[in-house]
Amino acid sequence: MVKKKVVEKSLNERRKMIDYNNRKISINEQCRLLKISRSGLYYVPCGESEYNLLLMRLIDEQYLKTPFYGTRRMTVYLIDLGYNVSRKRVQRLYSLMGIHGIYPRPNLSKSNTGHKKYPYLLRNITINRVKQVWEADITYIRMNKGFMYLMAIIDVHSRYVVGWGISNTIDTNFCVSVLTKSIERYGVPEIFNTDQGSQFTSNDFISKLEEQKIQISMDGKGRALDNIFIERLWRSVKQEYVYIHEIKDGVELYHGIENYFDFYNNKRPHQSLDYITPYKIYNNV
């Protein structure tokens, strides 16, 4: 039987304590009591080599400074640092990390035939109230051994993080789960803005927004600056938490992100908000 007070153990030890046949305590409740996120329960170390993980760290840090670096420039940067790397490898790592250089691309106005095209609704509008616009995105987060993905949803007016989650894969179910929990807790926004990632354009994700009568806004392909507010959130998360800590595993990452977002929402003054916290703006206090 799972008890509420659990001695700190390694992730693998706590995984072994999960009783999948227990009819009285659900898997979700057991994860909560053991302080394991559901995604952390299923996390397994990625199959990337130590060398690739090192390159991903370097790419992540440099990309935060120069998001306009495509794979060619990043390859040159890594070679100048003394690493033996080809552009093909960097292209694969960019894809794995879910990033791309920010620069004008040809035929930008052509529709993507893979999914229904939604317009970018935030151009030239004044965002002056909470729940007017939410934005969502996913980013790579490094750990000592391997990496995971972090998804977050913010209220643009207040910069308040209304929902987040971590996972070892970027799948649709994970994204829908984060969206569903955010709506259950905070209600619905008027507009929901994302990039054109496959998770956000999936039928399940779109259907969740449509059934709530939320207007869907999507960035121009390759234009991460359309989603600038959550890009700034990633900069803060990485510079103020990820890069200054040695994160051992998914459980430590989950609790570290949980603590950071509590600080970010409730205690951290924001310069763009006249040094008021997102909590006070969101709750009008």
Token representation of residue 9: 């153990």
3-state secondary structure of 87: helix
pLDDT in tens, 209-232: 999 999 999 986 545 556 788 889
Q: Within 10 Å of residue 24's Cβ, how many Cβ atoms? A: 8
Least confident of 22-26, 197-201, 219-223, 237-241: 219-223
pLDDT in tens, 121-131: 998 899 999 99
Task: Give the per-residue pLDDT at 207.
Answer: 95
Least confident of 8-17, 182-191, 228-237, 257-266: 8-17
Has residue 161 got a pLDDT over 90? yes
Per-chain mean pLDDT for the chain: 84
Q: Please report, rounded to a whole number, the percentage of residues in the chain having pLDDT higher than 70.
A: 77
Task: Give the per-residue pLDDT at 175.
Answer: 94
Q: Within 10 Å of residue 82's Cβ, how many Cβ atoms? A: 6
Q: What is the pTM of this model?
A: 0.79
Task: Give the per-residue pLDDT at 9.
Answer: 44
Has residue 149 got a pLDDT over 90? yes
Average pLDDT value for residue range 149-167: 96
Has residue 73 got a pLDDT over 80? yes
Average pLDDT value for residue range 68-77: 94
Q: How many helices (H) and strands (E) does the chain have?
A: 11, 5
What's the pLDDT band for 193 if we cut at 50, 70, 90? very high
3-state secondary structure of 140: strand
Task: Give the per-residue pLDDT at 109.
Answer: 35
143: closest CA among 15, 7, 33, 11?
Answer: 11
Straight-line distance from the first to the last Cα atom of the chain, in angstroms, rounded to the nearest whole number: 43
225: closest CA among 75, 61, 101, 92?
Answer: 101
Amino acid at 136: A
Burial state string for 1-13 with b = 16 or more CB within 10 A and e = fewer than 16 = ebeeeeeeeebee
Task: Give the per-residue pLDDT at 117.
Answer: 78
Residues 6+ apart with CB under 8 A from 47: none
Task: Give the per-residue pLDDT at 275.
Answer: 92
What's the pLDDT band for 197 if we cut at 50, 70, 90? confident
139: closest CA among 242, 252, 52?
Answer: 242
Task: Give the per-residue pLDDT at 20.
Answer: 52
pLDDT in tens, 243-278: 999 999 888 999 999 999 999 999 999 988 899 999
Has residue 96 got a pLDDT over 70? yes
Least confident of 20-34, 133-147, 187-201: 20-34
Task: Give the per-residue pLDDT at 220.
Answer: 66
